Structure 1
């Protein structure tokens, strides 16, 4: 795996985070390279004065933040992992920290923006939210360039730029990536509520979903399966690990009304959605025992603190398919469980989670299954 990015007279050492042994994926892609080269070849630095800022949106692991280290810049991401990776890679490359502001996607966008570089996010809803917020802080002089893999840029992608920014065109493809250029000339910008709300009839809950929440348009069928098959027991400290909009943790709160429920996700939008949903749908005596944590899984949590961890593990990190997140979640879960504590997960049948759990816990029980999913249970033993 290549850790050295040499581009436009700069050399950077960049790592993906969390770091794993035998990593096969690098911490930047051709879209990062395309943006950097375009910025230099077209002298976009001349549009940045002392009072203005460079705005970087969805920088994955810090390639853009580190390369543009001499400019005053704000970096916006919904990912805790991305923001943490940026910090670590800046330290690795001795980048100054006094000219950069890192913020999550739910914070207000800066208003003194002169050049904007965007990595196109995975979902259209996340892109629409980003462009909607961006449209509020730009002027006709703002330079806006986006980049993404060719297979992520469709007519619907370009239409969103047209709707919220203005006249839009694309570049030729290079190394399977493409640039998007938008001129700020749109005056009739729609006032649209991008968060979605829908109801879970069985519980009578109205579920709020920010733009970048997993399965934001409907109840995830894997999550539903886990909600319907929660373990019986007198649990007091429960974790909804990778909580998304929080519905599994909310079901746990109803099943174990005296338990403290901790919701954990690396998406700021997910955690805010889970918080809203818990407060709006469950009684105060249950919500007052809830905790909401933006974090890389259970990293940094104390050993032997929880007696039940519930998880619907993701198998993507940004655009990459990987089982490393599941591995990390399972290992950290074992560390954080009390003796006799349980990890209960739901996963697609084709994913080899049973073997992983047996290797980590020394045991794994098939609780139930259907045509698409399995629910597995592992117990921490000594």
Structure 2
């Protein structure tokens, strides 16, 4: 959906990424609007380096780049995101609104943060752990005159959210709610109780994790179920296809990489591609592999072109399997998400299934785990023409679909 977002500095045409004319969800919401109106009303207008964290589709970054272009603001606009899709949405939205590619600097959560931040704007993420990690990383760059504003819908801001701002940034208060959105206003004060950043988290997998029982796992903040093995993956691990002869395997939406690691350990000849749209997830998968004695090659992002050590495990951040050659995989494994930010949707899973069919060779297989109620067998039959139940329990199913012809 291409939507018109009226900001204090410009009217913007914004869309999500990848753009889908059937998608009726906006690329911005009331909390983005509330933050920008509040920022524009501050006297004197805040100046200097502006850092935007958690911007979901680039609405905040694009608006602030338009502000800088219109007012001649002297500081850079920097976006920090853990999402490949957010970064690409921002690039597309900057271009759609006539703004230069360098109107904003786009960093990931794996990049070194700026050394000085004069204005910090935080779109509160769904993951409290990711908020904790990012505040720890950015707080040293704040100074006593920095402006710190968080924003989110009322349902997204909890007592624990405010406690993190209070502990890591400084004294914190909230605004009145407007259109079910609220602001978080924090004053940098270098609290004595800030503590150290607890992320990434490392632990050993439980005894019922099948092929990887007792093995180490590394989780960066924001990865799904970062502090424990989620029950769906646990069930999937107990029913994975095992070697030898698995060939070229893709761990699609790899998260912390436990599933792909299990396959790589089970079949020493398998080549495993770990891919996710989250920079935090792919970093977790790479470190999980290293912790288990698996080397790898870093193909995180075709735009960056970064390559590391040669090996039979490859790590890639991207939009699904976009850019992966057709017919290049023998096996795709996935635990598909059914949320896109706060929205419940099967659109992500459908795209993953279509991507998997394209990259599988004839006779290649897609194996997935999902909640029973999601009806993935119906979607697989539409896309593959077949779907077989491999295993089930009261909550989950493991399904297998074969690329025919």
Structure 2 Cα separation of the partners of residues 362 and 83 of structure 1: 35
Deviation at 1:321, TM superposition (A): 1.4
2:372, 2:395 within 8 Å by CA — same for their partners in 1? yes
1:162, 1:186 within 8 Å by CA — same for their partners in 2? no
Structure 2 Cα separation of the partners of residues 162 and 172 of structure 1: 18
Structure 2 Cα separation of the partners of residues 378 and 145 of structure 1: 47
Structure 2 Cα separation of the partners of residues 116 and 283 of structure 1: 39
Instruction: Provide structure 2 residue ranges, at least 5 long, that are not aligned to the other structure.
Output: 208-212, 298-309
In structure 1, the residue matched to 2:303 is none
In structure 2, the residue matched to 1:146 is 150
In structure 1, the residue matched to 2:195 is 190
Number of aligned residue pairs: give it: 378
Specify which of 210, 214, 231 is matched with residue 204 of structure 1.
214
3-state SS in 1 of match to 2:101 = coil
In structure 2, the residue matched to 1:230 is 240
In structure 2, the residue matched to 1:218 is 228
In structure 2, the residue matched to 1:246 is 257
Structure 1 Cα separation of the partners of residues 121 and 377 of structure 2: 42
Deviations 1:279-329 (A, max 9, x none): 111355999200000111101211100010000000111222111100100
Match status 1:112 vs 2:116: yes
Q: Does the C-alpha gap of structure 1 residues 240 and 113 become closer, same or farther in structure 2, counting only changes over 3 Å?
A: same
In structure 2, the residue matched to 1:313 is 336
In structure 1, the residue matched to 2:63 is 67
Deviation at 1:106, TM superposition (A): 2.0
In structure 2, the residue matched to 1:40 is 40
Structure 2 Cα separation of the partners of residues 297 and 358 of structure 1: 20
Structure 2 Cα separation of the partners of residues 35 and 315 of structure 1: 28
3-state SS in 1 of match to 2:199 = coil
3-state SS in 2 of match to 1:350 = helix
Deviation at 1:8, TM superposition (A): 2.1
Structure 2 Cα separation of the partners of residues 192 and 230 of structure 1: 35
Deviation at 1:9, TM superposition (A): 4.8
3-state SS in 1 of match to 2:259 = helix
Structure 2 Cα separation of the partners of residues 9 and 239 of structure 1: 45
3-state SS in 2 of match to 1:12 = strand
Deviation at 1:232, TM superposition (A): 4.7
Instruction: Provide structure 1 residue ranges, at least 5 long, that are not aligned to the other structure.
Output: none
3-state SS in 1 of match to 2:189 = coil
3-state SS in 1 of match to 2:184 = strand
Match status 1:333 vs 2:356: yes
Match status 1:5 vs 2:10: no
Match status 1:78 vs 2:82: yes
Structure 2 Cα separation of the partners of residues 81 and 367 of structure 1: 32
Structure 2 Cα separation of the partners of residues 108 and 369 of structure 1: 44
Structure 2 Cα separation of the partners of residues 283 and 110 of structure 1: 33
TM-score, normalization: structure 2?
Answer: 0.90
Q: Does the C-alpha gap of structure 1 residues 9 and 107 become closer, same or farther in structure 2, counting only changes over 3 Å?
A: closer
Match status 1:288 vs 2:299: no
Structure 1 Cα separation of the partners of residues 123 and 81 of structure 2: 10
3-state SS in 2 of match to 1:68 = helix
Structure 1 Cα separation of the partners of residues 42 and 296 of structure 2: 59
2:296, 2:314 within 8 Å by CA — same for their partners in 1? no
Deviation at 1:107, TM superposition (A): 1.6
Deviations 1:247-273 (A, max 9, x none): 000111122220100000111111111
Structure 2 Cα separation of the partners of residues 242 and 12 of structure 1: 32
Specify which of 281, 302, 311 is matched with residue 270 of structure 1.
281
In structure 2, the residue matched to 1:304 is 327
Superposition pairs of residues 147-166 of structure 1, within 5 angstroms: 147-166=151-170
2:338, 2:346 within 8 Å by CA — same for their partners in 1? yes
3-state SS in 2 of match to 1:214 = coil
Deviation at 1:191, TM superposition (A): 1.8
Deviation at 1:360, TM superposition (A): 0.4
3-state SS in 2 of match to 1:47 = coil
Deviation at 1:206, TM superposition (A): 1.4
Structure 2 Cα separation of the partners of residues 308 and 98 of structure 1: 40
Match status 1:380 vs 2:380: no
Deviation at 1:199, TM superposition (A): 1.0
Structure 2 Cα separation of the partners of residues 284 and 333 of structure 1: 25
Deviations 1:144-199 (A, max 9, x none): 00101101111111111110111100001111110000011133121242322221
